[in-house]
Structure 1
Amino acid sequence: MHWKPDRKSHLTIHEQIKEWMRTRIERGDWTVGTKLPTQRKLAAQFEVNRSTINLALDELKADGLLESRVGSGTFVANNSWNVLLNKSQPNWQQHIDASIHKPNYHTIQLINEYEQYDHIIRLGTGELSPELLPTKQIERSLKSLSLDSRAIGYSEPQGSNKLRSVLCEYLKKRGIDTAPENILIVSGAIQALQLIAIGLLEEGAIIFQENPSYLNSIHPFQSAGMRMMPIQRDGNLTETLRIAKRRKQSLFYCVPTLQNPTGRNWTSEERQILYETCAQLQIPIIEDDVYHELLFEQSSSPSLKSLDRSGQVLYVGSVSKTLSPGLRIGWVVAPEPVIQRLADIKMQSDYGSSAFSQEIVAHWLSSGIYESHILQLREQLKIRALFVEKILEEQFKSVATWEKSEGGFYIWIRFNEPIVNKAMFLNLLKKNVLINPGYIYDTTDIHHIRVSYAYASLEELKEGLNCIIELVC
């Protein structure tokens, strides 16, 4: 041994000795079971006090690299390789646990996992069945598209100007008068919520929401450090919002048309009251309006954005529920400064949504193909809803209640007894039936399940509902 500690180093003498010994073990110079020289010999070799050697040895023992044997000396420990391996690798679990984004509920993680398996009957899925997707029509429309090199490159920060212009015309049918500079193209409604969370709100901001809420199952605001506050609209809404708003910046998230998960619709009066209350208190509103085109019957209830005269409402739309979730195209309509802020953050995140997808959506909206598809889709969904409601009427009437679907994907079933828990979810999963239990939308809810008639085939819907009633009864 010719090595000696460097007395000019920024490291202390005992730290240098400790690192030298660790290196000998890592390189295999000192294998498991190797006996170290005596403290006296090491002290003489390194020209240091025995107390310095003793300190270095004690720390290596504490690290699990060395062990003492009474009457025999100090040896390289049996588990030294495992210790070194763990020390050399990042502690990823520690990184995960300390990360900003909150993990989803275990039930939702299982839902996301099992939705990928073909043998699973998906009774809760918020997605169109492959047989309802206009695959052939999209394929044919691709042949009608005329693309130039600029159209398929990176789009403008706010998205394709062509699509934004088409959307301005299309949104007039919803009573929304806007301009291309007030629209941002996003990769679906969830991205819109994420951009709003990190781009417009401070940490600790309050997000008001109707209870139960889809927001509780995806966490875009919770992971940004915001507090969710459930609101009962039939109570003293003004006073509740006023008291809560005193503490922090706030925002109201809502799905007034075909609310997720309940499928309910707000009346025109309810929409007017909410808008005027939030305007009075200067609380911005996010109107998530991704389901409105799937109403079975025409409604006179306006969108909140159509009532907006002061930039109070951030309007979110998408084609994921109506055309194809794989296109990943949605939009936000908001005041220009807000759109510019969100566009800046989006460009930092993904440099724009798919140029091909934007071209397809622009073509469908402008050519009339989209509206024709929507008419057919509504009819197909209505057939499915009636099919499920017939089964419910025949088999579930004694154990549960529900409201007739007005459109969209869902029927919100309430069991008379508090039976909707993790055990029920897992027992159905064993039977290859996947449900969306109410507790993923409201942690206190042990009565409801969200049944979707949009994804599973009619045969699967019947089989899945039979499995539920057999388990319940």
Structure 2
Amino acid sequence: MTWKPDKQLSVTLHTQIVDWFTAQITSGDFTPGMKCPPQRVLALQFEVNRSTINTAIEELKARGLLETRIGAGTFITENPWQPMLTHPKWNQHIEASVHKPNIDTIQLINDYEQRLDMIRIGTGELSPELLPTAQLEHSLQKIVLQSRAIGYSEPQGSKSLRESLCIHLKKRGIETTPRNILIVSGALQALQLIALGLLEKGSVVFHHKASYLNSIHPFQSAGMQMVTVKPHKQLKQILQMAKRNRQSLYYAIPTLDNPTGRNWSTEEKTTVYEACKELSIPIIEDDVYYELLFEQTEEQPLKALDQNGQVLSIGSVSKTLSPGLRIGWIVAPEAVIKHLADIKMQTDYGSSAFSQEIVTYWLTSGLYEQHLVQLRNQLKQRAKFVEDLLEQYVQDIASWEQPKGGFYIWLRFDKPVINKALFLELLQHKVLINPGYIYQPNDFHHLRFSYAYATFEQLEEGIKILTTLVQSKLTHSDEKNG
């Protein structure tokens, strides 16, 4: 919601809110049976007091447009005014749809990330000042476009880009061919295609305790069961018991895991690979952060260990070059690639031809490698800056591991203070965080702190505000328990 009541008008704020709600219901944007956001969320979004929201809701209830269900919340009535009865009951369609809505906190994060006045200290995105905007603009003048190249691309994507990726991935220890690569519109589309194309409803998706999958739901919406595991000596037995006779796969981010930022050891990679190989469980290796390691190592990805097509490797330039290009890729056996390419053609008829040309040019001209060197140095400086601030402000109440690369510090507070109430309170102070409970249900100790997006000034201000509010909660809790 971007609308707010105008405080300069002579009409009272609660009347403006009533009129706005009425207009949304009349137009069909708010459907019969739809649940309204909690009053504190509405007060935050409309930038008014809770009492103003309460007055507006009571008037809307008096008009028969809203109803309160004890223990459930406030809803648009099932049968509002007669002129509205002709609207389709969209809420019933929405609730019955395959894709389920994300949790409220994630929806709020998605909304507030678009606001320029927010200090974003959880965002999984590069700062505009880290994007090579000028170089990208200059490179457009160097690219020679062929008429055929900017039409609909081949089902698997631009052949020249796939050929360039073969050379690029070889540096990572991944030997592949253009036949084994599918160009996708970002890594998230790769996961969606895999969910649609390789698994049946009721399949098991193994992942780790604090998981990126908990914040996006590509498999959950397709009817898969999510099972939490961790690499250890009994992994094979655990996978076998949970899998039974069902289809399954293992999702992993072995390098710079999101959200924890940790890297797997060679032993962990071998354990997972061997267990999955023996049980014929495919592995999805999400490898989008590898190129952001501060110190490049000889450590190989799971895909480099793969001798029998067990591992599906996902890469992207969204975290390194530009999220707006929407270019990623899947490396997999040819039969898998052809099937996923067919599904992709049914959904979007191919990724952007212009974006594919740009990425091909950057890979083949050396610009990409040059940019990565500079980007890693900049992120390393930002990480050091944030660590110094954390040591100054929160080391007595929180702990963390030194980041090895990427965007994040997985910050753990000693007490469970990172809850929905703190998240909303921070929003009131124009600070946006990614709390741990969106990655791991009921985790109120962690937050994913990103040093990649906010300016240095905003990072410091955000940490100060976060520390002040957390200290206030801790003091209040001690007084209550004392």
Please report the TM-score for the alignment, with normalisation by the length of structure 1.
0.82
Q: How big is the shift at 1:401? A: 0.5
1:224 is aligned to 222
Report SS of the residue matched to 1:223: coil
How far apart are residue 185 of structure 1 and its match? 0.1
Work out the CA distance in 1 between the residues paired with 2:233 and 2:82: 61
Q: Which residue of 2 aligns with 1:361?
A: 359
* 2:114 alignment counterpart: 116
Unaligned runs of 5+ in 2: 1-78, 472-482
Q: What are the equivalent positions in structure 2 for 1:346-357 lying under 5 Å apart?
A: 346-357=344-355
Cα deviation, residue 150, structure 1: 0.3
Secondary structure of 2:106's counterpart equals helix
* SS class of match (1:414): strand
| Residue number in structure 1 paired with 2:336 | 338
Distance (Å, rounded) in 2 between the aligned partners of 1:245 and 1:94: 33
Matches within 5 A, 1:106-185: 106-185=104-183
The offset of 1:270, in angstroms, is: 1.1
Whole-angstrom CA distance in 2 between matches of 1:413 and 1:199: 36
Contact 1:289 1:317 in 2 (8 A): yes
Aligned-partner residue type, residue 296 of structure 2: Q
User: SS where residue 426 of structure 2 aligns?
Assistant: helix
2:375 counterpart residue number: 377
Q: Could you say what secondary structure the match of 2:231 adopts?
A: coil
SS of 2:250's equivalent in the other structure is: strand
Displacement after TM superposition at 1:394 (Å): 1.2
Instruction: Determine helix, strand or coil for the equivalent of 1:224.
Output: coil
Please report how far the alpha carbon of residue 233 of structure 1 lies from its aligned counterpart in structure 2 after TM superposition: 1.9
| Aligned 8 A contact 2:400 2:409 in 1 | yes
1:288-338 per-position Cα deviation (integer Å, ceiling 9, x unaligned): 000000000122321000000000000000000000000000000000010
User: What is aligned with 1:285?
Assistant: 283
**In the alignment, what sits opposite 2:90?**
92
The answer as to whether partners of 2:293 and 2:376 remain within 8 angstroms in 1 is yes
| 1:91-118 Cα deviation digits (max 9, x unpaired) | 1111111111010010000000000111
Contact 2:232 2:268 in 1 (8 A): no
2:69 match:
none
> How well do the aligned residues superpose, as a CA RMSD in angstroms?
1.1
Distance (whole Å) between structure 2 residues aligned to residue 272 and residue 366 of structure 1 = 33
- Residue 329 of structure 1 pairs with residue 350 of structure 2: no
Q: Look up the match of 1:240.
A: 238
What are structure 1's unaligned runs of at least 5 residues?
Answer: 1-80
In structure 2, C-alpha distance between the alignment counterparts of 1:179 and 1:281, rounded to whole Å: 27
Letter in structure 1 aligned against 2:159 = N
How far apart in 1 are the matches of 2:84 and 2:337?
47
Distance in 2 between residues matched to 1:448 and 1:214, nearest whole Å:
14
Partner residue of 1:302 out of 295, 300, 303: 300
Match of 2:460 in 1: 462
* Distance of 2:83 and 2:307 partners within structure 1: 63
Q: Which has the larger radius of gyration?
A: 1
* Cα shift readout 1:264-290 (whole Å, capped 9, x = no counterpart): 000112111111111011100000000
**Distance in 2 between the 1:148 and 1:236 partners?**
55
Q: Distance in 2 between matches of 1:467 and 1:82?
A: 43
CA positional deviation for 1:247: 4.0
Report the counterpart of residue 432 of structure 1 in structure 2: 430
What is the percent sequence identity of the aligned residues? 64
- Give yes or no for contact 2:287–2:314 (8 Å, CA) kept in 1: yes
Q: Structure 2: how far apart are the matches of 1:200 and 1:170?
A: 27
Tell me how far apart the structure 2 counterparts of residues 317 and 120 of structure 1 sit (CA, whole Å): 30
1:89 Cα deviation after fit: 1.6
Q: Secondary structure at the match of 2:92?
A: helix
Further displaced range: 223-232 or 283-292: 223-232
Output the CA distance in 2 between the equivalents of 1:409 and 1:101: 29
Q: Which residue matches 2:309?
A: 311
CA distance in 2, matches of 1:141, 1:264: 35
Shifted more, 378-387 versus 95-104: the winner is 95-104
Q: How many Å separate the matches in 2 of 1:434 and 1:87? A: 39
Other structure's SS at 2:260 match: coil
Deviation at 1:85, TM superposition (A): 3.3
Greater mean alpha carbon deviation, residues 136-145 or residues 231-240 = 231-240
Q: Distance in 2 between matches of 1:455 and 1:84?
A: 49
Q: Which amino acid aligns with 2:226?
A: M
- Out of 413, 416, 440, the residue aligned to residue 415 of structure 1 is 413
Letter of the 1:332 partner, please give it.
I
The residue type paired with residue 469 of structure 1 is: T
C-alpha distance in structure 1 between counterparts of 2:463 and 2:371, whole Å? 29
Q: Alpha-carbon deviation of 1:82?
A: 6.3
Q: Work out whether residues 232 and 271 of structure 2, in 8 Å CA contact, stay in contact via their aligned partners in 1.
A: no
Whole-angstrom distance in 2 between the partners of 1:83 and 1:389: 57
**Residue equivalent to 2:44:** none
* Whole-angstrom distance in 1 between the partners of 2:333 and 2:189: 18
For 2:426 and 2:85, locate their aligned partners in 1 and report how far apart those are by CA, in whole Å.
Answer: 43
In 1: Cα distance, 2:132 partner to 2:326 partner: 15
Q: Is the Cα contact below 8 Å between 1:268 and 1:300 reproduced in 2?
A: no
8 Å contact kept, 1:436–1:451: yes
Which one-letter code corresponds to 1:182 in the other structure? N
- Measured in 2, the distance between the counterparts of 1:86 and 1:388 equals 53
- Secondary structure of the corresponding residue to residue 266 of structure 1: coil
Corresponding letter in the other structure for 1:399: I
